[in-house]
Amino acid sequence: MANAANLCPTLTFKSWLSSGAPNAFGTVTSYMAGTSTPLATWTDWTAGTQNPNPIPLNSRGEANIYLIPNVAYKLVEADQYGNQIKVTDQVVNNQLITLFGGVDTGSANAYILNFNASFTALANGIPPIYWIPSHNNTGASTLNVNGLGSPQPILNVNGSALGANQIIANQMTEVVYYNGNWILLTVANFTGNQIGTFGQSTTIASASTTDLGGATAHVVSVTGTTTISSFGSSASISAPIYIVTFASALSITGSSAIILPNIGASLAINGGDTLMMEYLGSGNWQVVGYYQSSPFFSLDSLLLSPYTNATTSYTSVVSLTLQAGNYLVQIGFSPYATGGTSDGLSIQFGGTSQWAANSGNFTVVGTIATPLNTIWSPGTYSAPTIINLAANLTIATTNAVSIQGILNLATAGTLVLSAAQSSGPAMTSALAGAYMTARRM
């Protein structure tokens, strides 16, 4: 059971001679602790009237002596003849005045508090201070309390410097003094590059080594267009996750230092794309999430009317507008009837040779009646035809075909799928339909 009452303190100061008799008409002189500098005492609790110094004692060796709370005194007792009887140093009337330090009067990253504190010197474990900052911090910060020495750094609990916006204007903040630093304790403000939380983004420039560990938080905006081959080695494996957004298009080179998704040796980034990166230690990183600014998946299709008249021709075109990047593309087509030939299913990409350069990456899924080189052979359609998928291709009911593979686009453009059915008495079959999909990787 907790104590229900406390012993009554001595209500009046009393001095005794070595004989045990009261120190009648003796004196008490008050000094600052550890010094010979006089320090005032008071006649009552209001601290309105100072005692004389030395303080005279009455015939019972008594005097009313009130001390300023939390101020250390040295008291020297003497008899009525001036003979020193006793010296008592470090006399402190400890009193918790307040834990609230008020509103700071400094600037961002250099905070200042002046208040009626329960201490006159900085020491480990002095009561925590609750205070209101006037500014958000933008990085490493200091705090000066009551002018006690030079401003001291404010650190995270692990000893690291503060990151941006760990101190928020007008939000109650808590610190405690330890080993020459103020330690930030407010749980709501536990952010920063070593803590592993996210919060407001910090900006760094792209470079061959773009050091994410050097950012002051774990949400990073990367500017510039320099190709990245490393994300540095200064991050902490105890806080390994970073969310990285890119302001502009650039390339990231895959290696053991940057493990990319299974899409090839490099990753083409567009402005607005975001990666979730995990630090594996020893300068090695892995992309564990890829969030793209352009659509992940595009689909378009066309249907051709059944061929019923040898003198009728059909042409239909669909297109997909794609950003630069890597895509898994699939094109499929199916016949309407057996026999005869189809006059063309072609793919175009913005007048460039992007597709032609990647044609070898594609494979056929299904059954086709002619060799693969026939499918890839140049067509007779107007430029910029890149691949003529079915020029003079004999198709049967069972010959539905799809072609798929990876397309690497260095620039944005439009991917066009066109299908044509020529007229003529020999044409006794047609493409009943075709489709095209592009899924960004």
Average pLDDT, integer, range 47-59: 95
CB atoms within 10 A of CB 333: 26
pLDDT for 372: 32
Tell me the mean pLDDT in the region 142-165. 87
Left (φ > 0), alpha (ψ -120 to 50) or beta: where does 31 sit?
Answer: beta
The whole-angstrom separation of Cα 386 and Cα 348 is 5
> 366 pLDDT exceeds 50?
no
Share of the chain above pLDDT 70, in %: 63
Mean pLDDT of all residues in 1-9: 70
Q: What is the mean pLDDT of residues 155-159?
A: 84
- The alpha carbon torsion through 299, 377, 342, 303 (nearest 10 deg) reads 10
Contact 156, 187 (CB under 8 A): no
HEC sequence for 94-129: CCCCCCEEEECCCECCEEEECCCCCCCCCCCCCCCE
Q: What confidence score (pLDDT) does residue 304 get?
A: 43
Whether residue 393 is predicted with pLDDT greater than 50 in this model: the reply is no
User: Of 113-117, 274-278, 369-373, which one has max mean pLDDT?
Assistant: 274-278
Verdict on whether the full-model pTM lies above 0.75: no
Number of H helices, E strands in the chain: 2, 32
* % of the chain residues with pLDDT over 90: 37
129-141: average pLDDT? 90
Q: Is the pLDDT of residue 324 over 80?
A: no
In this predicted model, which residue has the larger pLDDT, 188 or 202? 202
Query: Closest Cα partner for 338 from 403, 389, 394?
Result: 394
Burial 134-147 (b: 16+ CB within 10 A, else e): bbbbeeebbbbbbe
Q: Whole-angstrom distance between the N-terminal and C-terminal Cα of the chain?
A: 67
Is the pLDDT score of 247 beyond 90?
yes
Q: What is the pLDDT of residues 103-113, one digit of tens each?
A: 999 999 999 99
**d(C-alpha 105, C-alpha 111), whole Å:** 7
Structure tokens at 347: 């793919």
pLDDT tens per residue across span 179-193: 999 999 864 455 555
